[in-house]
Structure 1
């Protein structure tokens, strides 16, 4: 792949990571919960004096280690750059929390609106990462590795993966606070809406041939 093509794809990937971090932050600012992929690091950030983004990096790094362990010796060398992706995502989550610090929805309709906006931004970020097709996000990479290893569909494994994360976050919250913190209806809305929004972006991407931008 020519260097110009790689540069464009890396730029799209970086934009996707930034939007993913911003989207996660907006959903969290709604105070109706956080997205499933960020549920564990968010609850941990409530329990310990470590930032949301730092825990995001740590958990994402664990995803990467698990992915390498599952794939084994055939793990592509290029995908070791997922460590940088994990670092960028953690940084962008903290940046997103900083940029969205002024978002304080006062009434329930406003909270729902922030969840919807955050979910749309998150979906666009994930879609851009997929479209870049250069380096995987460790979370998605782990899901793909499990799907290939167990011979199950990616979508089914993704649902099981997200469910496991939310359940783990709830257990951590109970252990730390004696109640559920950071997980509400916004978590469910985000889980459902993000997938369908990504599908909508994919349809537009195909219909209007937007992939020309990434052509070498």
Structure 2
């Protein structure tokens, strides 16, 4: 049993680290990023915070919203808030900016695939949902609205605010919205422990 917990914890940490690296690849591609990363970019552009610190701050603020919704975080929830931002910032330090679609598109695609792989790892570890996942399910429980509607409103709001603040919205944003679900569906099957977790795919 202890070895199983350690394996799941290692899977969680690896998944969160790779998730941040995947985000950094999509940011460096500069053809649009995921809705929450648009918000992180917008905040970073209008504050002293780096992209990674803005990602951490958003995660922490979202986690605070769990309190009135009576959601219970797990160790995976806390590590999600703490690790994705620094790993994304490390990736931005490591990777140079690219120019030209012949480099931008493959870099974005690689980042998207890495995010899907990482999602399978960290969700499959089953050590607690990401802060945005808990907000989504908590609002669903309190309002009775369908999950898809709650998720659309949350991510649409993050995207709009981030875009107004100057975040990078583009074809990559649309590609992420269309492809991340099917890709995560595959990777959750690869890396899930036992049965693939039920319910909606994560918003992180």
Hey, what does 2:82 align to over in structure 1? 87
Hey, what does 2:193 align to over in structure 1? 211
After TM superposition, give the deviation of residue 171 of structure 1 in Å: 2.2
Hey, what does 2:100 align to over in structure 1? 107
After TM superposition, give the deviation of residue 151 of structure 1 in Å: 2.6
TM-score with structure 2 setting the length:
0.85
Hey, what does 1:132 align to over in structure 2? 125
Give the whole-Å Cα distance in 1 for the aligned partners of 2:146 and 2:75. 24
Aligned length: 194
Please identify the structure whose Cα radius of gyration is greater: 1
Pair 1:89–1:203, CA change in 2 (3 A): closer
Pair 1:121–1:155, CA change in 2 (3 A): farther
Pair 1:96–1:153, CA change in 2 (3 A): farther
Q: Secondary structure at the match of 1:6?
A: helix
After TM superposition, give the deviation of residue 132 of structure 1 in Å: 0.6
Q: Secondary structure at the match of 1:48?
A: coil
Moved over 4 A (4+): none
After TM superposition, give the deviation of residue 32 of structure 1 in Å: 1.0
Give the whole-Å Cα distance in 2 for the aligned partners of 1:27 and 1:128. 19
Give the whole-Å Cα distance in 1 for the aligned partners of 2:152 and 2:22. 19
Hey, what does 1:193 align to over in structure 2? 179
Matched, 1:38 2:37: yes
Give the whole-Å Cα distance in 2 for the aligned partners of 1:128 and 1:105. 28
Give the whole-Å Cα distance in 2 for the aligned partners of 1:19 and 1:47. 27
Structure ranking higher in helix proportion: 1
Can you give the 5+ residue segments of structure 2 that lack an aligned partner in the other structure? 195-204
Matched, 1:142 2:135: yes
1:34 touches 1:42 (CA, 8 Å); kept in 2?
no
1:124 touches 1:201 (CA, 8 Å); kept in 2?
yes
145-154 or 55-64, larger mean C-alpha shift: 145-154
Please provide the CA RMSD for this pair: 2.1
What does residue range 50-69 of structure 1 map to in structure 2 within 5 Å?
A: 50-69=49-68
Can you give the 5+ residue segments of structure 1 that lack an aligned partner in the other structure? 174-180
Matched, 1:202 2:195: no
1:147 touches 1:157 (CA, 8 Å); kept in 2?
yes
TM-score with structure 1 setting the length:
0.81
After TM superposition, give the deviation of residue 163 of structure 1 in Å: 1.2
Give the whole-Å Cα distance in 1 for the aligned partners of 2:100 and 2:64. 42
Pair 1:156–1:5, CA change in 2 (3 A): farther
Q: Secondary structure at the match of 1:126?
A: helix
